[in-house]
Structure formats: C-alpha cells, structure tokens
Chains A and B, each alone.
Chain A
Amino acid sequence: MIVSRALAGLAIMLCALMSSSARAGLGEPSLQEIDDAITELDVQRARELIDRVTTESPGLALLRARLANYLGDCDTVAAILSSPELAAADTTGLGDVGRRCAGVIAGATVIEDAGSGIRLVLQDDADRVLVPFVTDVVVRARAHVEHDLGVRFPRPLRIVMVRDLFSLSAVSGLPLAAAETTGTVAVARWGRVTIISPRATALGYPWEDTMAHELTHLALSRATRDFAPLWLQEGVAKREETRWRAPRPFDRTPDPTETARAAMLSGRSVGIDKLGPSIAMLPTPEAASIAFAEVASFVSYWIEQNGAPAFQLLLDDLKGLGSHDADGAMRSVTGFPLTYWVARWRAALMAVPPEARPGEPPTRARGSTPARAKPDELARQVRLGDLLQARGYSAAASLELAPALAQAGSEAAIRWRAAKAELGAGRIEEARRRLGTVADVDAVVGPWFALSGRLDRTAGAGEAAEQAFRLGISADPLSEEVACEGSWAPRSPGAIGAPPPTVPKDPARRALCEAVRASSRD
C-alpha cells in the first residue's frame, strides 16, 4: 500500500516535470526564426511566430516592419520606422524604402486574383489592360520555376508594376542612378517582384522574360534562405527566363557562351565571383551584359555537368549551411570547390571552336547591315519617313525609307517602318517584301512581329500570325501596331472620315488595342 502510494506520488511529479519541459520546449520563437521565415517568403508563418512573442524589443519591431514590407504594406513600414529609436536601429534602409514605397503605392490599383494566386499592384491604373497578359505569364513561369528549382511559392505572389524608374527605385530601394546606368527594369526584393510597366520605354522591352527572371530570384531566395551567391542568383535566373515557354526567335542572341568567351579573350571578363553587390550596380551596361552572359553560361555548364537533382541539392545545402560562400555546398554536392568548376568552365569555353577573332564581337548571324552604313544618314531617312508617315504620306515615306532599308536591312525597326509605309500606300506585296522574314532581322521588335502577323493572317497562316502577335506583345504591348494586331488608326488630317481601323477579336487584346488608341488620341 505504502509502495503504491509512493509510486503514485512519483508518477504525479514526473507528469508535472514533463509538462513543464513541454512548455519550455514550445517557448517563444527566436527573432532569427522569424527573420528566416520572412526571408523564405513564408509570411504566414512569420506572422504566427511574431504573434507568439510576448516580449517587445527593437529587434522584433524591425522584424514587424520587415514583414509588413514583404506584405506590401509600406504605410506600416514607414509608421513603425518613424520612431527615432528604430530608425537608428534600421541599418538596411528599410525605413527609407517604406516611406518612398508608400508614395508609390498610395491609391494604387490592387488586383487580387485568388484563383491564380497573384496579387498585382498597379501604380498606373492604365496598366489594367495588361493584367490578363501578366497573369498568364506569371502563372506559367511560376509553375516552371517551381518545377526546376524544387520549391513552391507561397500564395499570393506579390507583383508591383510601377510607372517609371523613379518609382522602381522607391519601391525596391535600388539607387536610381544605378538603375538608370544599367537600364534595370525589374527587381525581386522584399518578397515581391517590382517591374516597370512596358509603357515606360519608348519601344517596350521583353517584359515576359524579365518577369520569369525575377520570379526565379524570388524562388532562389526562398529555396536557399537568401544564401545563394550573386553569380548563382543571376545565372539561374538567366537560365530560367526562357525555359518557361516555347523557344522563340533570338532566344540566345547573343549567345551567352560566345559572349563570355569573347569577353574572356578580350580581357573584358567581369568574373563569376566578382559581381559586387548587384549586377545592376556594375559601372556600364556592357559590363552588366558580360556579367549576365558569364554567369548564365557557367550555371548552364554546371547543371549540364552535374544534373538537375544536384542543382536542387546545391540549393538545399546553401540553405542548410547558411553561408553565402558556395564552396561548402559545392564540395558537399560535387566534391570540388567553386574555383574548380570555374576553371573547368573556362577551359570548356576555350575549347569551343572560335567563331570570332579575339576581341571582336560574334559574327552577325542574321541580317545584312552593310558595315559602312552611316548612322546620321540612317537617322535622317528614318526620321523623314516617320514625319511623312505621321502626316499620312505613305508613298513619300516609302521613298525616304527605301535607302535606309538598303543600308540597314537587318534593322527590324527600319523594316517595319518601310513595310508600314507600303501598307499605307496599299502595296501589300511590296510590304511583305520589305518586312522580310525573321531571318532578315536581328532582334525582337514588337511592331515588326505585329505587321508580320497581319501579313501572315492575310496569307491564311493563322498559327504563324498568332505566334507573331504573341511575340509582339512580349516585346512592346503598348505599341498600337502590336496591340491592334498590325493595324493602326491614321491620324493625319486627310484621314478624317476614313473607316474605323480594325480591332482584335480576343477580348483582352481588344481592350488593350482600344486603350492604346484612346491613349494616343489624348
């Protein structure tokens, strides 16, 4: 009896201890845990962890501000970091980002698409017409990046489309001068993609691939807890920016491997691990282009050599090791350090049969612009053509553009002008001849593909026309020719009373076309 009583008492004591231990084990989460959750874009978990903290501290307040920034709540960031004490503790410039970001986001259009898992903030409400296209690209690119990197994005995925570089700088914290120097159009930071509207640039830019590129950065941050070194970030992003879709013309133009090889031979190589804080902050656009080419070529080479599973393992190791130095992860996955792989890659580059003389750019693969084309003369002819075309003198414009086309036949921008003049003059066959084919031009120019699509459709090649229209939208969606599938509304005085120009049948494209035309009339 006594023994049984003693055993019962012992059992109660043990239960109490176990219960106490269990409570101690749950405990308050550390600030590092919260920080890691935010870095991995796991904002829901970060919020829960913060809610469990009972002791207020400046560090916790800073994490609250950081979380608010990841949630796109710039007002809260600015409010939290407005206190002098916290502002002094803020070494990341988050307070400044919050204040400037709040100015960009204030009153902005917010589109929550729960079905697609996207939250899109538009600084310019006029960009609403781009939403269907942006959503489509994001959904597809996100799926592919998730597959390649073995990581799943939390929903919603936050995207901010800003109107200009000034706002991009404000929302991302990227110095404006650096953004202007390198022509940065998008930044993946603070758990969101901030991208410039295609209307910010006169001729558009490849915004679809840019979106995929930035999504990859976000995925890498999540996969490695932001321990991926810069070369890996940019190399993988560069690799992923075209893999989400079917191949397109000029996908590898210029070829990164050739560019890297030429840079190495000419002594202009930037170096895999010498990118500084950001490629966008390299001194010149040329240096940035070479850096991109080098890291893209290196990453492709590494994955080619080690396989995709090894790549995902590398990401896991980077996260596990918690260091920006990739050597440890490299050794862990492949048995060799980074320098070894860089040396192997350089050797492989040199083994590629030379297609160009050292120090010279790769030979033009397409088109045929004569080497002695005079830029001033070209500019003169193009400008005269534009002036005449704008006044409705298509035939006269055609006359002015003819010598320009002869001088710079590979310039898609000249070809579509010449073709447009011919179309304006009612000479469809001549327009087709002047427009040429993809093989005749050297870059993606939206209006060229739009006219090409129009001519293809006229010729009954519906599929080719559709592809051309899609390509046009990927490059310059707010050009009238692109938005309106190769048609345009003449605005010359003589065009008053002319029949209304055609509009696309697809509702999204029709809305885009009508918006572009309305904007042009303002």
Chain B
Amino acid sequence: MVTALIEQLSGAWRRVVGPASRSAALALVLAVLLGGAHLARLGTDAARAVVGVGLALSVGVVLLRSWLERRAWRSARRTIHRVLVSADPALGRKALRALSLAERTAHDSSAGSAELAALHLERLMASVSVERVSRAATRRASRYRVIGYALIGAAFVALLVSPARVVEGLDVLVARHGRAPLHLAWLDAPQITAKLPAYLRAGGDRLLSPGEPVELPIGTQLVFRGVPLRPGRALRLHAGEREVPFVADGAGAVVARWTVMSDVRLRVVARFGNTLIEEAESLEVRAVTDRAPLVELESAPRTMKLAELDRLELRYDASDDHGLRQIDLVLRSGGSEDRRTLSRLDGEVESDAGGAVLQPDDPFLRRMFLPVVVTVEALDNDPVAGSKWGKSDAITIVPPAVGEPEARRFAALLGLRDELTDLLARELDGSAPRDHLARSQAIPARVSDVVDASYGGLSVPSGLSAFLLGQARALARPLRPGESLVRKTEDVLLAFDVALRTVGANDARAVARRLADVAEEAAEGAKLARESERQALGLARVDVALDALAKGARELRRLDALGRDLGSVAAADLGRARSARARSDMTHTELAARHLAARLRRPEPSFGSARTGGVESGAGSSRASGGKASQAADHFDQLASELQELVRDHATELGSVERSLSEAEQSVDMEALREEARRHAEAVRGALRALPLPGSEPGTARAAAALGREHAGAMAESLERLSFADAVNDGRDALAALSDAEKKAAENPNGAALDRSALLEARQRLGAELSWAEQQLTQLKQQAQARSRGALEKSSRAEQGIARRAGNLADRGKNAETALPEDAIGALERAAGIMREASRELANGRGDRGLELQRQAQRLLEQASNGKTTDSNGQDDGRARSQRNDPSEDGGEGGKSLRMGGEVPHPGDGRSAEDFRRRVLQGLGKAGSERLSPAVKRYAEGLLQ
C-alpha cells in the first residue's frame, strides 16, 4: 500500500520534473559543445584539451544525474526525500521518521510493532496531497526549464554569431595528427596559374585546375589566387612540410606563390594553431627535370694511337630539351684538362651540330703522356638547378712515349747522314759510282722523302727542310771546274751533321721539358698517395708516370749527345724514384721525382756550359779543336735572316705605295663634282623606277631585275658620296644583273611578267651613267697618280733596290753552303723580275699596276722564305702554340682553328694549304677582319688569278 503511494507520488513528480531536467542537461551539453568549439578554434593543444575535458564533464554530469535519478526512484526513502520533503517539508520529515520506524520494527521486534509502524507510515503517506506534490514538481520543472532555456539560448547565440567558426572549431576539436577530418572550402573562385621559367620561353601563363596531376618544369611558379570565403582565416598553400601564406593582393583577393622544385601535392589550407583544415581538392604537381644535353660524337667511342693519327675530324650533334649555351671540345689526360670552346650559343637554340679538327701536333696532345680522352660537351641554359653539361662518348687517343716522334724524326735524319757517310767512304776509297745522275736521283729524293714525312704528327721544320733540300740540290748539281767531288760530299755531309746536331739538341731540350712534366706528375701522385686518403689513386698516378718517364727517358737518349746525357740523368733519377716507390717510400719518391723535374726543366748538359772539368784539380783535358766542322748551317741561317728581312722590307714598301695612292686619292678636291654627281645619282634612280622591287621568286627574270635595281641604288649612293670606285663596281654589278634579267626574260617570255622595254631603257640609261662614273674615276686616278708621282718614284727606287737584294739572295742560294731549294730560288728569281717590272711601273706613275705587281712579288717572297734551320715551326714549344690557339684571344667562333699571323702555306703543302684555302673562303665571306690581313688578302688575290 505504502509502496503504491510512494510510486504514485514519484510518478506525479517525475512526470513533471523529468522532461524539464533532461532538457536542461541536454542544453548544458549543447552549450558546452558550441562554446567549446569557439575555444577549440585556437587550435592549440591546450585549448583543444580544455574543450574536450569540458565536453566530457558535461556529458558525464548528465549521465551521472540520470543514473542517480534512476537509483533514487527505486528507494522509498529517497523518493520521499526528493518528492515529499520538497513539496511539504514537515510532512516529509514525518514520513521519513515513520519510514525509519517501520524499517526498524521490520527487523527488530523489540523496537515496536511492525504493523503499527507500517500503519503509521501508510496513514501519513495517505495524508499527502498529490496536488501539493504536483505543484512542487511544477515549480522544480520550471526552474529546470529556465536553466535549459538559458543554456540553449547561449548555445544558439554561440552558433548564430558565427556558425562557420563553430564548424571550424568542432573540426579542429576532432582533428588528428594536425589535420581536421572535415575538408572545408576556403577560397571562392580559386584560380591557379603556372608561370614557366623564363629561360624556357614558353610564352604566357598556363591556367590549371585541381584534380588531374599536372607535369611542370622545375622552376615553374604556381600562383594560387581567390577570394577568401571567410575572412580572418590564416590561409596557406601547403605541401608536405612546407607552406606558403596567402597574402592580400589589394583587390580583395588573396594570393600565394609556389615554385616547383620537386613533386608535390598542393592544397589550400587554413591554419588554426597546430591544426590545418584542408580544402577538399588538391593540385598534384609532377616536377619535370631539365635534362642534361645529349651529345653525339661521330665514331665515338673508340680508341686510336696518336702516332697513327693523321688528322682527327670530330663531328658532333648536340641537343637539349630547352636550349644550349655552349659547346666545348674537352681533352683530358690524367689530372690535366684542356677545354676549348667550339660554339657559344644564345641559350635558345635546342640543337647544334658542328665539327672541329685535332691535329697530331696539337700542343695538348704533344704534351700528354697518358691516354687523352676526347669528348664534346654541351652546356644547357638551366638557371634554376644550374647549367648542366652533357658529354658525348669518348674518343681515346693513346699518345706515343714522350719524345718518340722526335726520336723517330731524328733517326730518319740520322739515316740520311749515314747514307752520306757511306757515300763519302765509297768516294774516298774510289769505289763510288761517279755518275752524277745516280747521285742526283738517289740522295735528293731520299732527302725529300725524309723531310716530307710525318713522324707521329711531327714534321721536319720548314727552315731545316729548306736547308737539307738545298744541300741535296748542291750535292746533285754537276761539278764546277776545279771542284773536288769528295770535298763537295764532305761539305754536304758536315752540313747535314751540323743541322742534325742542332735538331738533336733542340729536340732533346723540348723533350726534356715535357718529361719534366711527367716527373712532376709522378711527384704529385706520390704526394697524393702520401698525404691523402686517396692513396690508391696516388699510387696509380705514380706508377703510370714512372712508366711514362722510363719510356720517355729511353727516347730522349736517342736524341744525339745532349739527349743521351739528359736521358742518362733521367734514367738515374728515375731509378731512385723507382727504388723508393718499391719500398713504398712515397716521401722519397716525391723528392726524387721533383728533383728530376727541376733538372729536366733546365735541359742543359750535365756539366753545364763548361766543356771540361778539372779546374779544382788544375788539369784540364785535351780537346781536339775549338773550331767548327761546318758553317753551312750558320751561313744558311744568315741567308734566311736576310730573306726574312727582305720580306719585311718589301711588305713595308708595299704598304708605303698603298698609303701614297690612298692619300693622293683623298687629297683630290672633288667638291666641284658633288652637285654633278648628285644629278647623276638622281638620273640613276630615275632609270630604276620601272624595275621591279625585291621579293620575286629567286631565279626569275624579275628577281634578277630587282637585284639590278638594288645594285644600281647602291651605285647612286656611292655617287652621292663621291666614291667613284664603289660606284663603278656597283654599276657594273647592276648592268650584269640587268643583262641576266634580260636573258631570263628572253628564255621565258610568257612567264617573265616583266616590261622588257623598260628593262632595256633602264640598261641604256644605267650604261650611260656608268660611263660617266668610269670617266670620273679614271680622271681621279690620273690626278691622284700625278699627285703621288714623287712618292711613287721614291718607291720605285726602293723597289729596285729590293729586287737587287732578292737577286743577290737567289744567287747566294745557289752556292753549296747556303744552298736553297730549287723552288725557293725560283720564287726568289721570279719575285726579283716582278719587282723590277713593278719598279718601272711605279717610276712611270702607274701606281695601280705597280702595286699589283708588288703584291705578286710579295707572295713569291713569302713562298721563298722558309725560316732558319733552328726554327721549330712552333712544334717544340707546345705552350707557345697553345697560347696562340687560345680561343679567347682570337675572339669568336670562327677562331676555332685559326692561327694568328700572316703565314701562307705553300700550295704544295697538301692538307694545310687546303685548310688554309677553306678558312680564307670562310673569312672572305665575313666582314673585314684584322686577322685576315695581310697574308689572306694576298692569298685571295692569288686565288683570283
């Protein structure tokens, strides 16, 4: 009964209070959630923890309360306490006491009657007014509702103030590993543009859209632009560990830039403390690397011997994905590298093809003793990752032992001397054939063979060659009255001997200097092995260098007395270096090698300039004599010096005549002609009007007529400048072109589309103007020659003197001791004759003709001058040649293989003459160059003859 009453009371209470309290609890949770979202937006761990804890607490409170409620309603005492005490405190307390009594009596009969106590409780409970309880419940529910409404109101305020912030906050709140789970859009109308690197010259920007992967060259700048959907967010462009902030562009939008350096996936994100909320879409970029240039070298890879190399033509084809900047020919040997620029490009050309030639006497090749690796390398124009070199396969050139070419050449010359010795011996014992025909055919032909041969790329210097050929010629000529056959042979033998010794000494010095480099390389290798961790490399360098040194020393010993001496010194010190190397004593290996290098760089005889020792002991050795066995080489060198001086003097005189004529022409007063020349120029232009303008199909009559018009226009301009020589040249070219046009028009009358009568008239008028110009030019020249007559007469006398000197030299060149080759004597004699004729022309005031003859004579003089026996033609001093060939000095791509100076190869010099001719033709196609004068001019004139 009591229980039913209590349940009735609790039911009345719970029906009213329960919904209100639950609503209040839910409102609390909601308020905490929404309020916490704002706090969580801070993104810091602390903020997120606080919010999390708050939310957990609020939920916990709700759940706890629910559990307590359920437990409370199961207990009569708690129910009375909660319901009745709240509704009627006095009655409630009575009821509680009655309940206590009833419970006590139920367990303890001594406390009283259980039935009475129960009855008492029942009566009390029955007296409770349900209505009163309901009223109390209503009051309690009202309070809950107020609280609930307040919380809900607060939550709604938090939501309504900035719903996005709540979303962001909640997103941040539940983020894991710094990433919020919910993707949000941040930019309105986002725009992504790609700006490719400028060096790619790819034109305008490229518009991208997220989604599909995109390939972009490294260095591309990506620009993300858009209007923020919600202001105040810290927007970033994010990829991996890197992010770039968006900045305002001043027009309401924000922008971020990203340079592509590697593969990335880019997203727009908003940063909240340590947490990012990403946009759903991303841009996947695959970075495209600028590849190194590809270079193909014809016939590479391969290996060849320098001794068998006549000429190595290198043809390359280089290409790059974006552009080439430079092409180099690279020669490497051991630790040495020689880089020669073949081509400098603007960085926009994507392919380049060309060639270069390596001669066996190339200074680098001749200096090297290790295999030389030849490659062509191309440099691209990548400024982003740095320009890269691409290299071709290699051609490996295996050089001969140091000094081997010189030793071979010396042996060949020695063979000649031995043949002459044999000849002399037979003559002395009377067994030699006395017929000169046999001699003239045998020895001179042998000499010619030897001096024309190449010895591993080394030739016989021209001066020495001329000397030997001259001596051979002297040997072959018939005996003069009173001349002794034996004496003549002796003279020639001794002349050969002296020349041979000169060559031997010069070669020994040159080879010794190169061997010094080898010794230095051995020393460097030993140092490397001793001082660094790269011991194996150092030891390898030592061993290779010591082997090369041994071979070189052997070759050096074949080079006459000085070579034997220096070679013996090298062998001795090499022995010390090897001995130390065998003991792995790198310190002493280095010391011995450095001493040898220093010694060989001073390639003097072991006993220096002192010829005999013994001063310390006071007893000098006897010498056979202090005289010279033959002075033929000295006399020849004297003649060669005089010839060189003659060439220089004649060149000076030639220049003097050129200057005189030029100055005389410039001194003629032509101002009186200016007005008349202008009228004629106008007449020329008038004659052209009917002719077609350029632009017609090449090869047609119209094109030829247009060309004629161009030339005639140039003629008119020359006339106005009073440059009659140019005007005459242009006029002749114009007439030639018009003739050509007329011919083509006649051949194809239907297709000409040309007014032939206008063409004819133009020709006639132009012809008349040309005649006038020629007439003026002739008068001008006559006036100039009259003015320069004094100077020309002076030059005539000088030319006569030089002609006499040339004749004398030719006569001396026929003598045995100063014998010159046949062709040199011929050139000298022809030059002398032409100079005499030039002298006559100059004396008669015909400056132009005289000048022309002088140029012919100069060309012949240069052909006759071969240099001295001691000249090496630059073969012995690789460094000097190297400097001359330095591309930085000859300035420009055309200078790849041009040498400075005015030397002109003899037409019979085969390939060198052919090379020279080709270079001249290339050079003539360009603007005037200092490099091409004066020899090229003369050569070109020679070509025209």
Contacts and interface: CB of A to CB of B under 8 A. Distances in A.
Interface of A: 75, 100, 102-104, 106-109, 123-126, 163-167, 170, 176, 179-186, 196, 199-206, 209-210, 213-214, 238, 241, 250, 253, 256, 279-280, 285, 288-289, 292-293, 296, 374-380, 382-384, 387-388, 390-391, 393, 395-396, 399-400, 404, 408, 411-414, 417, 441-445, 475-476, 519, 522
B232 interface: no
B454 to A, nearest CB: 26
Contacts of B629: 376, 379-380, 382-384
A384 B621 contact: no
A380 B424 CA distance: 14
Given A102-B591, A204-B621, A393-B421, A380 B494 contact: yes
A209 B631 contact: no
A442 B623 CA distance: 10
B606 A201 contact: yes
Interface stretch (B3-11, B61-69, B269-277, B574-582): B574-582
B625 A379 contact: yes
Interface residues of B, number: 65
B422 A391 contact: yes
A183 B606 contact: no
B624 A444 contact: no
Given A378-B627, A380-B629, A107 B602 contact: no
A106 B607 contact: no
A388 B594 contact: no
B588 A289 contact: no
A452 to B, nearest CB: 14
A179 B613 CA distance: 10
A133 B738 CA distance: 98
Interface in B535-568: 554, 557, 561, 565, 568
A165 B602 CA distance: 11
Interface string B611-638: 1111111111111111111110000000
Contacts of B588: 106-107
A382 B629 CA distance: 8
B627 A164 contact: no
Contact of A201 (B421, B576, B591, B607): B607
B622 A443 contact: yes
A205 B606 contact: no
A103 B591 contact: yes
B131 to A, nearest CB: 117
A103 B625 contact: no
A183 B613 contact: yes
8 contacts: A106-B595, A126-B568, A203-B622, A205-B621, A380-B630, A384-B493, A384-B629, A387-B497
A378 B589 CA distance: 47
B569 interface: yes
Given A107-B579, A184-B615, A380-B494, A163 B610 contact: no
B250 interface: no
A200 B568 CA distance: 9
B502 to A, nearest CB: 14
Contacts of B421: 387-388, 390-391, 393
Contact of A183 (B589, B591, B607, B624): B607
A56 B417 CA distance: 68
Contact of A206 (B573, B599, B617): B617
A444 B619 contact: yes
A379 B628 contact: yes
Nearest to A234: B616
B406 to A, nearest CB: 17
Interface in B390-425: 417-418, 421-422, 424-425
B627 A375 contact: yes
Nearest to B583: A107
Contacts of A441: 622
B326 to A, nearest CB: 43
- Choose among B588, B613, B624, B626 the residue with the greatest number of A CB atoms under 10 Å from its CB: B624
A380 B627 contact: yes
- Choose among B417, B561, B615, B616 the residue with the greatest number of A CB atoms under 10 Å from its CB: B616
Contact of B622 (A296, A379, A393, A413): A413
A209 B617 contact: yes
Interface string B368-407: 0000000000000000000000000000000000000000
B572 A123 contact: yes
B607 A164 contact: yes
B759 interface: no
Given A203-B623, A206-B617, A379-B627, A384 B494 contact: yes
Contacts of B616: 184-186, 210, 213-214, 280
B654 interface: no
Contact of A181 (B422, B585, B604, B610): B610
Nearest to A414: B624
Contacts of B571: 126
A182 B591 CA distance: 28
Given A106-B591, A412-B622, A384 B424 contact: yes
A391 B607 contact: no
B588 to A, nearest CB: 4
B598 to A, nearest CB: 7
B608 interface: yes
A176 B608 CA distance: 9
Nearest to A185: B613
B621 A166 contact: no
B622 A442 contact: yes
A123 B614 CA distance: 20
- Choose among A123, A176, A205, A292 the residue with the greatest number of B CB atoms under 10 Å from its CB: A205
- Choose among B587, B615, B620 the residue with the greatest number of A CB atoms under 10 Å from its CB: B615
B606 A210 contact: no
B377 to A, nearest CB: 39
Nearest to A209: B617
A429 to B, nearest CB: 21
A165 B572 contact: no
A125 B623 contact: no
B346 interface: no
Contact of B624 (A124, A126, A182, A413): A413
Interface string B424-448: 1100110000000000000000000
Given A376-B628, A379-B627, A443-B622, A388 B557 contact: no
B625 A408 contact: yes
B237 interface: no
Contacts of A213: 616-617
A411 B174 CA distance: 118
